Amino acid sequence: MPEPYIILYIEDNRDNQRLVQRVLGAQGHTVLIAEDGPTGLALARESSPSLILVDLRIPGLDGYETTTRLRSLPYLQQTPIVAITADDQPGAREQALIAGCDGYIAKPIDTRRLPLQISEFIAGKRETVPQPDETPLLRAYIRKLVERLEQQVRELSAANAELQELDRLKSQFLSTLSHELRTPLTSLIGYIELFGQGMLGPLSDVQMQAMMVMQRSADTLSQHLNNLLYLQEIRSTQLALEPLVLHEWIIPLLKEMSGRAQQAEVRLQVKLDIVAPLEADGRALELVMRNLLDNALKFNQPGGHILFAVRDEPAQVVVRVEDTGCGIPNEALDKIFLPFYRVDSSLARPYPGNGLGLAIVRHIIEAHGGQVTVRSVVQRGSVFTIVLPREQERSVGDQV
Q: Which is nearer to ligand ADP, 3 or 334 (CB)?
A: 334
* Binder of ligand ADP out of 41, 56, 81, 296 (CB under 6 A): 296
Check residue 291 for interaction with ligand ADP (CB under 6 A).
yes
**Selection from 310, 280, 277, 273 nearest residue 292 by Cα:** 310
DSSP states of 343-370: --STTTTTS---S-HHHHHHHHHHHTT-
* Binder of ligand ADP out of 64, 195, 230, 299 (CB under 6 A): 299
Check residue 178 for interaction with ligand ADP (CB under 6 A).
no
Task: Say if residue 288 is exposed, middle or buried (CB neighbours under 10 Å; 0-12, 13-18, 19+).
Answer: buried
Residue 57 φ/ψ, nearest 5 degrees: -105, 50
Q: Which is nearer to ligand ADP, 30 or 385 (CB)?
A: 385
State the Cα torsion 86-89-94-96 to the nearest 10°.
-40
Check residue 308 for interaction with ligand ADP (CB under 6 A).
no
DSSP states of 95-112: HHHHHT-SEEEESSP-TT
Q: From the CB of 218, what's the least distance to ligand ADP, in Å?
A: 17
Q: Which is nearer to ligand ADP, 299 or 308 (CB)?
A: 299
**What count of other Cβ atoms lies within 10 Å of the Cβ of residue 235?**
11
With contacts defined by CB under 6 A, name the span among 70-78, 266-274, 323-331, 385-393 that binds ligand ADP. Answer: 323-331
* Binder of ligand ADP out of 7, 326, 386, 388 (CB under 6 A): 326
With contacts defined by CB under 6 A, name the span among 22-30, 76-84, 305-313, 320-328 that binds ligand ADP. Answer: 320-328
Q: Which is nearer to ligand ADP, 100 or 357 (CB)?
A: 357
Q: Which is nearer to ligand ADP, 79 or 376 (CB)?
A: 376
Check residue 343 for interaction with ligand ADP (CB under 6 A).
yes
- Pair type for strands 316-323 and 381-389: antiparallel
Site residue total, ligand ADP (CB under 6 A): 22
> What distance in Å separates the CA atoms of residue 348 and residue 289, rounded to the nearest whole number?
20
Check residue 287 for interaction with ligand ADP (CB under 6 A).
no
Could you tell me how far CA 311 lies from the centroid of its own chain? 32
**What count of other Cβ atoms lies within 10 Å of the Cβ of residue 374?**
17
The CA-atom distances, in angstroms, between 321 and each of 165, 278, 283 are 37, 19, 19
Check residue 25 for interaction with ligand ADP (CB under 6 A).
no
Is residue 12 within 8 Å of residue 55, measured between CB atoms? yes
Residues between 352 and 371 that touch ligand ADP (CB under 6 A) = 353-359
Q: From the CB of 185, what's the least distance to ligand ADP, in Å?
A: 18
Enumerate binding residues for ligand ADP (CB under 6 A): 291, 295-296, 299, 323, 325-328, 336, 341-343, 348, 353-359, 382
